[in-house]
A and B are shown apart, each in its own frame.
Chain A
Amino acid sequence: MADQLTAPPVRPDASIIVKAEKVNKNFGALHVLKDIDLEVRKNEVVIIIGPSGSGKSTFLRCINHLEKINSGHISVNGHLIGYLERNGRLVEDSEKNIARQRAEIGMVFQRFNLFPHLTALENIMEAPLRVRKLPVEQVHAEAEQLLTRVGLADKRNQYPNQLSGGQQQRVAIARALAMKPSLMLFDEPTSALDPEMIGEVLEVMKELAHEMTMIVVSHEMGFARAAANRVVFIDGGRIVEEGTPDSFFENPREERTRLFLSQILH
């Protein structure tokens, strides 16, 4: 069992999937991200933790350009996200190109954001059909497989409001996976769930962690220890400390990290 409790090591020569350099972001006068640098390699699972308002979700949303950045660079698979570089200046990319880039990046939201007018199966099929324009038979078969994989094959024809929170989030994960993304972003995927439903979602995420590059904003320490290669602590818009789950939780170097950990671990 011990080998299942820690994530497989990431090969140091694995290709870089996400590269963020000196990322700054302002909301008006509020400086929410300050010179964020982060590299994520293929199949690496990175957990971002931090107090509320620290900028961790904002950073995650910058990675698929749901938020604009004010300076710096973010690239995924070697391509600048959301911007084009012209004469050393960043210009926002066309809507079409941004959409194309987002199609390669899956995102799971705190409040699921399933499409309420579509069934579980239709939620999963929508983007492969309309964005990738794949044949319906193939999309249907893959959607069925994904539903089975998240343990919800019997719920294929249910609408989101007929599903529990945990079931909705599992459908949302399947929906993101249907696009076969090279990177998955999870924005506090369990914090809107009742406690008894957190486990089922984390199980699916742990399974996924073996084969997917993931960045997860979450306070689930159990998940971090079991599935993460690295924990990144953000506070006040800066990366304060990062390390492997063991070193991070057992021997935090920074005083602020220790204080934060003492607050969330009670």
Chain B
Amino acid sequence: MYNFDWAIFWKYIWPPTALQDPLIRTGLIVTIVVSVIAQVLGVVLGLFVALGKMSKFAPFRWVANAYIWYFRGTPLLVQMSLLFFGLGVTHIYDFPDIVLGTLTIKGAIQAGALALAINEAAYMAEIIRAGIEAIDPGQMEAAKSLGMTYGLAMRRIVLPQAAKVIIPPLGNEFNSMMKTTSLMEVISATELFYGFNQVNARLFKPFELFIAASFYYLAMTTVWSFIQVRIEARLGERKGVERGPSTLQRLFTGASGKGVR
């Protein structure tokens, strides 16, 4: 019978002791920071892809469609490997470490965050497009009739309204993003899963350690789902939108149930 190592288990599941291990501490920070950065970049890039897809100018539509086709049609793991190893071996771009004072951002982390962002943009593009298309075309017409250009009307009139439609699925995307950062392990970016893997390589206690790893991911996604409910409630208050499912419903019915891409 397997002899469960309670000492290791408690050491790595209890944050004050676990975070003393630099692998776990760094891993947690990298995972959170990369999730946020990749999500923000994904939204910005996704907005441009969405606008491209809705453009009157056909070449913009082709580029946007090809983008979505490729990044949703191939595994993120492959995209990330291609970006980091592929560009590295050809010396198109080596992802050198960036040094900012005392902080060094490893090339693998840059590449991982970039791959996550580029991939996320393809998904966000469809979410943003659906949000924009949910807005009555009369809004754009009214804005134009007042002398607004397309860009101004988008920024001031259409997007603020579309945000209401976009934010709930955007929250689900971020939940997914926090878990998907674990794929960066294959390019040796020092995120949370990489940290636990390294500890496991030293201690060989996969059962204990990966339960502990689950705990950290679960903590992040659970905290986020509470924040998400608050954001959506505030969004709904002023504009008379119906309330979404409760946090508990959301946690247990898998409103965002999406696996690794």
List residues of chain A with CB under 8 Å of any chain B CB. 64, 66, 95-96, 99-100, 102-107, 109, 111, 113-117, 126-127, 130-132, 159, 161, 172, 175-176, 179
Contacts and interface: CB of A to CB of B under 8 A. Distances in A.
Given A113-B138, A115-B161, 13 more contacts: A95-B150, A102-B144, A102-B147, A103-B147, A107-B145, A109-B141, A117-B161, A126-B156, A130-B148, A131-B148, A159-B239, A176-B146, A179-B146
Interface in B229-246: 238-240
Contacts of A130: 148, 152, 156
B239 A117 contact: yes
B188 interface: no
Interface string B131-163: 000001011011111111110100011001100
B36 to A, nearest CB: 26
A66 B145 contact: yes
Q: Which of B138, B143, B144, B145 has the most CB of A within 10 A?
A: B145
A95 to B, nearest CB: 6
Q: Which of A99, A106, A111, A159 has the most CB of B within 10 A?
A: A99
Contacts of B239: 116-117, 159, 161
Contact of A175 (B139, B144, B146): B146
A109 B142 contact: yes
16 contacts: A66-B144, A66-B145, A96-B149, A99-B144, A99-B149, A109-B138, A109-B142, A113-B136, A113-B138, A115-B157, A117-B160, A126-B157, A131-B152, A161-B240, A179-B146, A179-B147
Nearest to B156: A130
B141 A127 contact: no
B147 A100 contact: yes
Contacts, number: 69
Nearest to B136: A113
Given A113-B136, A116-B239, A161-B240, A103 B146 contact: yes
Q: Which of B143, B146, B148 has the most CB of A within 10 A?
A: B146
Contact of A113 (B142, B156, B240): B142
A245 to B, nearest CB: 27
Nearest to B145: A107
Contacts of B141: 66, 109, 113
A115 B136 CA distance: 10
Contact of B147 (A66, A127, A161): A127
Contacts of B156: 126, 130
Contacts of A117: 160-161, 239
B227 to A, nearest CB: 23
